[in-house]
Structure 1
Amino acid sequence: MKYLYYLLYFPILVFSACSGSKEKTFSENELNLIPFPKELKLNEGSFNFTKETSFVVEGTQQKEIAELLNSKFSAAAGWEMAILEEKPQTNFIQFKENKDLNEEAYKLLVEDEKIIIEAASSSGFIYAIETLRQLLPVEIESTEKVNVINWQIPQIEISDEPRFEWRGLMLDVSRHFFEKEYIFKTIDRLAFLKMNTLHLHLVDDQGWRIEIKKYPKLTEVGAFRVDQEDKHWDARSDNKPGEEASYGGFYTQKDIKQIVAYAAKHGIKVVPEIEMPAHVTSAIAAYPELSCTGKPVAVPSGGVWPITDIYCAGKEETFEFLENVLLEVIKLFPSKYIHVGGDEATKTEWEKCEDCQRRIREEGLAGVDELQSYFIRRMEEFLSSHDRVLIGWDEILEGGLAPGAKVMSWRGTEGGWEASEEGHDVIMTPGSHVYFNFYQGDFNTEPMAFSGFTPLNKVYEFDPVVDSMNTAQKKYVLGGQANLWSEFIDTPELSEYMLFPRLVALSEVLWIPEDKKDWADFSRRLHAMFKRLDLMDINYATSAYSVTAESVVDSTSGKIKIALKNEFPNSEIRYTLNDKNLNASSPLYKEPVAVDKSSVLRAAVYENGKPKGDTLVKDFHFHKAVGKKVSYKPKYNDNYTGVGKSTTVNVIRATKNFHDGQWLGWLGEDVEVIIDLEKSVQVESLKVGTMENQGSGIYFPVKISAFASKNGEEYSKIGEVSRDFKTNGAVSLKDFEINVKLQEVKCIKVKIDTYKGLPGNGKAWLFVDEIMIE
């Protein structure tokens, strides 16, 4: 019996004590690494992690890196691997320093009995560990012990390094403040994706977020504002000095040291941004003497435009203040880069200021643009004298660029192109591709965001190098980063939603060689990555799965043709018409769907019989005014022309995206619309589709009146609806309905009264998409 016991359990003992497990051979489709390595060779067999597996390290720093993977095993497997300095016979992961490799490069060799990692720096070892982590089963991300898992990875050879040295993310913690715990989580996720830079936007008009010992009022006053979170960001009222300021927060210098240390442990450099000369109302609220006027101001609660409360460039006290601030910042952040903003300064106060004008004369400057250049140049000289490098947004090019400055190009790539031509390093961060505060899916279902549109596949198309650059210019492109401005982002969960999975796409774009980018293969790997993100408890968006519809009117047949798509290639899109239930057995979409009568369309992507992403719901309502002649008085604004006169009677409904081509817009004008129904028809109701986006100056009408005519000449009023103004922090769509007594009508006249309650001479936009007659 004892002999039988050993026969039964001997194979298990061998399996546990030795990593040489060849019972599994991996396929290439099981390699779901993001970013994908530069060079990879998949071999037969596998390596099995067990509690007997050990790390072999060469020092304290390598030991700390080994702990990054050990912490994952501790949570998910319930055991940790020993960390040794002497190599055992078998079943180990060995770190080897190799100074012949580039700074962030690594080599990874996985065999049946050992893993060898070579790198020149801690960054390379960290990236290799993150690759091992992604090769492991997704359960390695579990925070609870997982049973019955073989912690196997394929035998593989990887030689890897990034394409760009700057692979970053900017978090705006000024518009809305985020506690340091969320910053720690973000650092974890950047390291997981082999990103290496966290740019913290610590200062803006709406909040000063870093403790400066010499100037305590920067946080006592500048870090807090009046709570107007119930209103749209760009429709908040002006605050007065002395009003109760309860919203805000800041990082103590102890907090900053913890963030920087945590980031360093994960191979991330933290770049602080201390804005100047504009976006500093929070500082001027604390120290009014820093402005040209010296007048007291309050920290604003929302959008500010134009930005006229800026530092005075003529006062020597301004530069003394900024140099003292930067001295404390330099001590806190070891990064060689200090970002100073430099964008969106409205210089009207400089034009009137005696101190600024004196500075212009004394320095022989051409005007206020060159005064800004003087300002930035002076700060660059100060930072350079302390062995730091100044970075600014591309506006610092205006008036001449400081000699040692680096440019972060956000207004497209033109600023970066110009800076590279002048021999300056650039980081590309254009709003067109990497502004993650823009929408990533259907405006009607996504959380409120800036009105730009940056879907996942557009992020993957991003390339920091511009085709028109010559060979010399390309060498000055350090890389790129995503920017997440937080006007509409007030919680960590929403921040995660806007970042993921777009940050995953960007990580690959900035890592792999350009010729290896493959959207179809990335899409496949991303599907697997979603399971990992689930276990990492990341609130990611599934917008890329969601179906979108492009609807057009066939001018010949009058039918609506609806093309359906989503971002992932070869997706299984199912749809129904006539408001039928949607399920895995619904018709498979193959070609545009034609609709010629009222119907509700539903569509969604299905995988393995289950829906993925949001279900698209589109109502196509063929009312009595469809296709009829329409006239407008006055004519709609040239900037919002929809599809022309037929916009309000073409069945196709507009979205919350006021640039979607289905809105007619009027600025500050009451509107009269006449619809000729061509013959007498019975009418009992009328609806007018409108939008409100107070932050963009778009307001619901205050009154709509309807008039009927039997001959097109004489009209009688048949009804009206009124609405009092209400503060609205959301983007809203509303159909205003007028019910009337059933009657014969040939022509309908609709009068729409625009909201006229904006302060000063402000004019409100009126947007209309459809006028439905029943």
Structure 2
Amino acid sequence: MFVILLISLLNAERIYNMIPSPVKLEPHEENFTFNAETTIILPKLDNSVLTEELQLAANALSEIFSKPAGFQLKIVQLIKPDPTDATNIVIFKISTAIINKEGYQLNINPKYIEIVASTPTGLFYGTQTIRQLLPPEAELQQKDESGINWTVPCAEIEDYPQYSYRGLMIDVSRHFTNASMIMRYIELLSLFKLNVLHWHLTDDQGWRIEIKSYPKLSEFSAWRKDSKRINTNNQKNEEIKQLEEGIEFNWGEDDDQTEEEDIEVIDSPHSSNQRPHNTIHFRNIHMNDQKDGLYGGFYTQEEIREVVEFARRRFVTIIPEIEMPGHAVAVFAAYPQLSCRGADEKVHFDVATSWGIFSDVFCLREETFQFLESVLTEVANLFPYSELIHIGGDECPKSRWTSCSYCKKRAEEEGIQTNGLQTYLVNRISKFVHEKLGRRVIGWDEIMDTGLDQEAAVMSWRGTSGGLSAARKGHDAVFTPQSHCYFDHYQARQKDEPRAIGGFLPLETVYQFDPLQLTGLRKDTLSQQERETRQHILGGQGNLWTEYMPNIQHTDYMLFPRTCALAETLWSPYENKNYDDFRTRLNPIVKKLDVMEVNYCKASLKTESIPIPEKNENQNQKDYLFNHV
């Protein structure tokens, strides 16, 4: 707490506005100034892989100045870098004394800067701290003509994350965004020291990744007619359609936010079952492609590789998600025989144009497993740096299996009931991914319901109980509960808030998120079992479901500044957390977002959160969220 108070007291005179806040900071007088003669010095190592990653970390710092300052920092290698009698240099050092592999020490003085870490990852995070300490103009995409000095305040900083998994999920199925915008978000994640992008590539409303062995996925599954069934008001439907086509609207400017709307109830807990609000206030940038009047798009394998490489250079791991056994209607538009109804008879499917849960799921015939294994093999090759492959597993109705001849036969052969077929599929796929592809699966917490392969990891979204149960059983767990991590929920009480799925998740509630605290494991004295459980809690993640976000300004608005709060709560020490201090540091940080043209929610910087009452155990999720929007 002392460190945060010290930073706050010095802010009036010295600018140390960093998000996340560091573990320790000792401020000093004076500044270090970067110029065209500043040189980065790297240690000369025998390890070629480590040398390449060191170069990536150095490039991250050098390239900051390329566009706004018109110069790049020179990079040289020395066997034993030494700052003695040297000036205007930035020294990168590898030291095993830094225990945390993502941690670093940063010494900034007027003559030189020294970054010390045990890995290139730690060195990279040191460069991102420097980037935040630079003036906002460092984010310009053209040369600054104001004559600004590229200075950073002198200080000694010790820093490392409390969680190894710090992620953000982006859904590109409901509304598609092109590869360049995904790379833009990766850039923003790395700036705030988030290290995982969970890429939700498939769902009922669209398949977004090219699979060479199944070309119809790109030809048919990536395109839908439109998404008009958002509510039953035809005028509103037309406005939604025009919004997706790029026409600007100022919806509900004089509306009262509490006004009831005539809408279709969407039966999906992931979607919060909530009414949308009818206001939006920013010009649209297209996120989608058009094909014969259809909405959609997909990433070619070349684009996927480009995004993955971009992420690697920013020390961000991308976890791809391929939904199964539910949320697969888009697949059936191309390959209907993989569904239960399509396996027994000729049935035509369209890619879904409404949100929610659909009863058609994968049929558990061998042809389906051939499809899934082929898809996952290509996906694993496209994402070589991710240990985990997400297989969904959420919201899977089982009614089709009870009437499907193939599925009933499968259940009989395996000696299980048809409602146990999801566990069979998940564990069979998990074994394939582990033994044949050398990876591990991760899925939404429903995959825990009736047993799980030991190698699988769990992503806990229905509160924290699923993740805690998984961790107790020796599974790695990532926490992303709706209560703190669903960025498709409203974030302010302003009547002109843009359309959202429902719920209420203000900035302060995100800042209060802490997986260990929520699971009761944030305490001084732990039993042996609790210590073992705690080792499996990897961290947390924010989720952006894009049902009501047809353009990049809207996704920006829902992500920021809540992503900043998420980044700090997953990185900075729990005992140092202070929301008022975070808000103080956030105000100048958003100046960087202004320069980066991020359309963040300004209302969340002005309004205080309104506490939501605890949910009664007898109250369902739909009623709870609906009553507190």
- TM-score category (smaller protein): 0.7 to 0.9
- Supply the AA of the counterpart residue of 1:99: T
Three-state SS of the structure 2 residue aligned to 1:154 is: strand
Q: CA separation in 2, counterparts of 1:90 and 1:658?
A: 61
Structure 2 match to 1:116: 114
Is 1:76 aligned with 2:136? no
From the CA coordinates, give the structure whose radius of gyration is larger. Answer: 1
* 1:121 to partner: Cα distance: 2.0
Per the alignment, residue 296 of structure 1 pairs with 348
Higher strand share goes to which structure?
A: 1
Residues 154-211 of structure 1, C-alpha deviations (whole Å, 9 max, x = no match): 2211121110011000000001110001001001000000000000000000000000
Partner in structure 1 of residue 429 of structure 2: 379
Counterpart position of 2:595: 535
Contact (CA 8 Å) 1:370, 1:400: kept in 2 or not?
Answer: no
Q: 1:207 touches 1:223 (CA, 8 Å); kept in 2?
A: yes
Q: Greater shift after overlay, 435-444 or 389-398? A: 435-444
Preserved contact between residue 31 and residue 152 of structure 2 (Cα < 8 Å)? yes
Greater RCO, 1 or 2 (C-alpha within 8 Å, sep 6+): 2
Relative to structure 1, is the Cα distance of residues 467 and 414 closer, same or farther in structure 2, using a 3 angstrom cutoff? closer
The secondary structure found in structure 2 opposite 1:372 is helix
What is the CA–CA distance in structure 2 between the aligned matches of 1:319 and 1:28, rounded to whole Å?
63
TM-score of the aligned structures, taking structure 2 as reference length: 0.80
- Runs of 5+ in structure 2 lacking a partner? 1-9, 44-50, 229-235, 242-262, 267-290, 522-529, 611-618
Match of 2:316 among 268, 276, 280: 268
2-structure distance, mates of 1:349, 1:245: 32
Shift of the 439–29 alpha-carbon distance from structure 1 to 2, 3 Å rule, reads: farther
1: CA distance, partners of 2:225 / 2:210: 20
Q: Which residue of structure 2 aligns with residue 163 of structure 1?
A: 162
Q: Contact between 2:464 and 2:519, CA under 8 Å: does it hold in 1?
A: no
Residue 253 in structure 1 maps to residue 221 in structure 2: no
Q: Deviations over 1:640-671 (max 9, x none)?
A: xx9xxxxxxxxxxxxxx96259xxxxxxxxxx
Q: Which moved more, 1:95-104 or 1:408-417?
A: 95-104
What is the TM-score normalised by the length of structure 1? Answer: 0.65
Equivalent of residue 128 in structure 2, options 130, 145, 148: 130
Q: Give the drift of 1:467.
A: 4.2
**Partner of residue 477 from structure 2, selected from 415, 426, 434:** 426
The 2-side partners of 1:368 and 1:398 are apart by 14
**Residue 359 to residue 26, structure 1, CA distance change in 2 (3 Å):** closer
- Aligned mate of 1:95, from 92, 95, 102: 92
- SS of equivalent to 1:75: coil
Who is 1:330 aligned against?
A: 380
CA contact (8 A) 1:393 1:407 kept: yes
Contact 1:235 1:302 in 2 (8 A): no
Counterpart of 2:527?
Answer: none
Q: Which residue of 2 aligns with 1:319?
A: 369
Report the equivalent of 2:256.
none
Q: State the Cα distance separating 1:46 from its structure 2 match.
A: 2.3
Alpha-carbon distance, 1:123 to partner: 1.4
1:398 is matched with which residue?
Answer: 449
Partner residue in 2 for 1:475: 535
Is the aligned partner of 1:176 residue 2:175?
Answer: yes
Partner of 2:215: 216
Match of 1:187 in 2: 186
Please report how far the alpha carbon of residue 45 of structure 1 lies from its aligned counterpart in structure 2 after TM superposition: 2.7
Contact 1:460 1:506 in 2 (8 A): yes
Share of identical aligned residues, percent? 43
Matched residue type, 1:206: Q
Contact 1:496–1:538 (CA<8 Å) still a contact in 2?
Answer: yes
Aligned-partner Cα distance in 2 for 1:494–1:283: 27
1:419/1:425 contact within 8 Å kept: yes
Residues 337 and 388 in structure 1, CA contact (< 8 A), matched pair in contact too: yes
Structure 2: how far apart are the matches of 1:364 and 1:567?
52
> 3-state DSSP class of the match of 2:142?
coil
Render the CA deviation track for 1:666-713: whole Å, top value 9, x for unaligned: xxxxxxxxxxxxxxxxxxxxxxxxxxxxxxxxxxxxxxxxxxxxxxxx
Moved beyond 3 Å, runs of 4+: 25-29, 58-61, 232-237
Query: Which residue pairs with 1:201 in the alignment?
Result: 200
Checking the alignment, whether the CA contact within 8 Å between 2:210 and 2:217 is kept in structure 1 is yes
Counterpart residue type for residue 493 of structure 1? Q
Secondary structure at the aligned position of 1:145 is classed as coil
Structure 1 counterpart SS, 2:571 = coil
> What is the rounded CA distance, in whole Å, between the counterparts of 1:500 and 1:374 in structure 2?
40
- Would you say how many aligned residue pairs link Structure 1 and Structure 2? 526
Contact 1:165–1:479 (Cα < 8 Å) also in 2: yes
With over 3 angstroms needed to count, the CA separation of the structure-2 counterparts of 1:443 and 1:50, relative to structure 1, is: closer
> Are the counterparts in 2 of residues 545 and 567 from structure 1 also a CA contact under 8 Å?
no
Give how far 1:142 is off: 2.2
2:56: which partner in 1? 64
Note closer, same or farther for the CA distance 1:205–1:245 as it changes in structure 2 (3 Å cut): farther
Residue type of the alignment partner of 1:200: W
Contact 1:26 1:154 in 2 (8 A): no
355, 362, 370: which one aligns with 2:413? 362
Q: CA deviation at 1:63?
A: 3.0
SS of the aligned residue for 1:30 comes to coil
Q: Which has the higher helix share?
A: 2
Aligned residue for 1:226?
A: 225
Amino acid aligned to 1:76 = P
Counterpart contact for 2:492–2:609, Cα < 8 Å? no
Q: Which runs of 5+ in 1 are unaligned?
A: 1-24, 238-242, 548-565, 569-637, 643-656, 662-774
SS in 1 for 2:408: helix
State the shift of 1:527 in Å.
Answer: 0.9
- Indicate if the aligned counterparts of 2:459 and 2:478 stay in contact, CA closer than 8 A: yes
